[in-house]
């Protein structure tokens, strides 16, 4: 018998009943993200051909160089989401302030989106995988009024959905609404995402550690000790472990989710609070990894329980297979 192939669109509709306040808006919002993702995917695929590689000439709010594709991805997501009525505001890693959608079409919308439109963009011009990370919350302010900062500064445990697109050897969209994690691979010939990774689970243990070891001298002692532990010979538990670091969070996260591993971006003298952003990167990835049975902390505290204080807040990030994260935490707590 021929296997039935479920498209992302079908899957979203079939699972709509799982949303506690389902009226179809969240389904429509996920469909809008899927659409914007397809557009970004198309731009990235032809990036080597078009004259769009290179720097845009601006710095983003963190003072980092913005690549042209960052700008394009940011604009595509904003315009696609603005063209539809499901959200009342959006915050992006690429913009200093959040955007308010306050016209008649969006006034009564219940959701806000936080997004890293193109994560790992320093990898683009060497053809390495990049991604988009998104996070969705219900607004806490009253519908009918403009969104406020409080709508965006909610702890990650209030997320109603989160996910990422990885623009890799194939393009995959992975998301959760709090009922497990599912992955969909894009078929460019048909123009649709198909369910390819149902009910994804992070192996409890893993053999891969992912960290920018070049920053070793800047790391806290707990991380230094943990790295040494990963490198020690112990045949009883399969050490030394394997080191893999792409420098694209989405790609490193995706590989570790599939194979078992830990991703660490700790504090360091160059990044005193860590590099990754709580709202656009850590919270959505933490929601996904927990839904897949893994763990995400800042070395001490569950990421999803941190109360955000500002839009572009950075935190140290330890994320991946449950037992590996717990081991790393042991070293952190020992110091
Ligand atoms: P970006 O959002 O500006 O691309 O920065 C986030 C990226 C992550 O994808 C990646 O894991 C990390 O920065 C790499 O940083 P480093 O080059 O310091 O190792
Ligand atoms: Mg990023």
In this structure, are residues 244 and 210 in contact, taking their beta carbons and an 8 Å threshold? yes
Does residue 151 line the site of ligand 1, with CB under 6 A?
A: no
**Helices of type H across 115-212:** 149-152
Number of the ligand 1 atom closest to the C-alpha atom of 276: 6
Which residue has the least CA distance to atom 12 on ligand 1? 247
Mean pLDDT computed over 240-259 = 98
> Tell me: the pLDDT tens digits for 110-145?
999 999 999 998 888 888 999 999 999 999 999 899
Which helix (H) or strand (E) segment holds residue 315: the answer is none
Ligand 1 centroid, distance to 274 Cα (angstroms): 11
Confidence tier at 20 by pLDDT (50, 70, 90): low
Q: Give the residue-averaged pLDDT of 85-106.
A: 94
| Average model confidence (pLDDT) across the chain | 93
Task: Looking at the CA of residue 280, tell me the nearest atom of ligand 1.
Answer: 2
Q: What are the DSSP calls for 199-260, one per residue?
A: T----SS-SEEE--GGGGGGS-HHHHHHHHHHHS-BGGGTBS-EE---S-HHHHHHHHHHH-
Which of helix, strand or coil describes residue 320?
strand
Q: Does residue 313 have its Cβ closer than 6 Å to ligand 1?
A: no
Domains belonging to the chain, first-starting first, are: 8-197 (3.30.540.10), 208-334 (3.40.190.80)
Q: What does the alpha-carbon distance between residue 307 and residue 14 come to, in Å, rounded to a whole number?
A: 33
Nearest CA to ligand 1 atom 11: 249
d(CA 79, CA 40): 12
Distance 276 CA to ligand 1 centre (A): 7
| Cβ–Cβ < 8 Å for 208, 259 | yes
Cα-to-centroid distance, 122 and ligand 1 (Å): 8
Closest C-alpha to ligand 1, atom 7: 120
Q: What is the pLDDT of residue 261?
A: 98
Probe target for ligand 1 pocket from 62, 64, 249, with the most ligand atoms within 8 Å of CB: 249
The pLDDT value recorded for residue 276 is 98
- Choose the residue to mutate in 223, 244, 275, 318 for probing ligand 1, maximizing ligand atoms within 8 Å of C-beta: 275
Residues in contact with 87: Cβ distance below 8 Å, sequence separation at least 6, in sequence order: 29, 81, 101, 106, 109, 111, 112, 113
Burial class (CB in 10 A: 0-12, 13-18, 19+), 16: middle
Model pLDDT, residue 201? 98
The token pair that represents 26 in the structure block: 């969240």
Confidence at residue 59, expressed as pLDDT on a 0 to 100 scale: 67
Closest among 29, 38, 7, 28 to 193, alpha carbons compared? 7
**pLDDT for position 1:** 47
Tens digit of each residue's pLDDT (9 = 90 or more) over 32-71: 999 999 999 999 988 766 666 666 666 666 666 556 889 9
Query: What percent of the chain shows pLDDT beyond 70?
Result: 92
Bridge partners of 184? 173, 195
CA–centroid distance, residue 123 to ligand 1 (Å): 9
Count of positions (residues) in the chain: 335
* C-alpha to C-alpha distance for 249 and 200, rounded to whole angstroms: 18
Query: Beta strands of the chain (E only): which ranges?
Result: 55-59, 65-67, 87-92, 99-100, 111-119, 130-138, 161-167, 171-176, 181-187, 192-197, 208-210, 242-243, 261-265, 295-297, 317-320
Q: What is the pLDDT, as a whole number, of residue 270?
A: 80
> pLDDT at position 211, please?
98
């Amino acid at each position: 018998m021929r296997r039935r192939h479920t498209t992302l669109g079908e899957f979203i509709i079939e699972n709509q009943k799982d949303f506690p306040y389902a009226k179809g808006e969240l389904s429509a919002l996920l469909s809008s993200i899927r659409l914007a993702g397809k557009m970004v995917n198309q731009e990235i695929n032809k990036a080597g051909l078009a004259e769009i590689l290179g720097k845009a000439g601006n710095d983003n709010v963190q003072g980092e160089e913005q690549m042209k594709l960052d700008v394009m991805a940011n604009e595509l997501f904003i315009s696609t989401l603005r063209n539809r009525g499901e959200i009342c505001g959006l915050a992006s890693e690429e913009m200093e302030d959040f955007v308010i959608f306050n016209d008649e079409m969006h006034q009564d919308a219940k959701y806000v989106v936080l997004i890293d439109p193109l994560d790992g963009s320093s990898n683009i011009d060497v053809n390495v995988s990049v991604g988009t990370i998104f996070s969705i919350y219900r607004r806490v302010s009253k519908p009918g009024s403009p969104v406020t900062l409080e709508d965006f500064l909610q702890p990650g445990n209030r997320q109603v959905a989160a996910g990422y697109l990885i623009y890799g050897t194939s393009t995959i969209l992975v998301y959760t609404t709090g009922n497990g994690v599912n992955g969909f691979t894009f078929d460019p010939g048909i123009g649709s995402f198909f369910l390819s990774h149902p009910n994804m689970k992070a192996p409890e243990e893993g053999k891969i550690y992912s960290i920018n070891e070049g920053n070793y001298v800047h790391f806290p002692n707990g991380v230094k000790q943990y790295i040494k532990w990963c490198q020690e010979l112990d045949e009883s538990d399969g050490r030394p472990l394997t080191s893999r670091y792409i420098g694209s969070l989405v790609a490193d996260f995706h590989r570790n989710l599939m194979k078992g591993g830990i991703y660490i971006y700790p504090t360091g003298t160059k990044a005193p609070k860590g590099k990754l952003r709580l709202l656009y990167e850590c919270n959505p990835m933490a929601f996904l990894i927990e839904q897949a049975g893994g763990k995400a902390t800042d070395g001490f505290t569950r990421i999803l329980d941190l109360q955000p204080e500002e839009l572009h807040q950075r935190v140290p990030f330890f994320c991946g297979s449950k037992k590996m994260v717990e081991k790393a935490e042991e070293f952190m707590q020992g110091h």
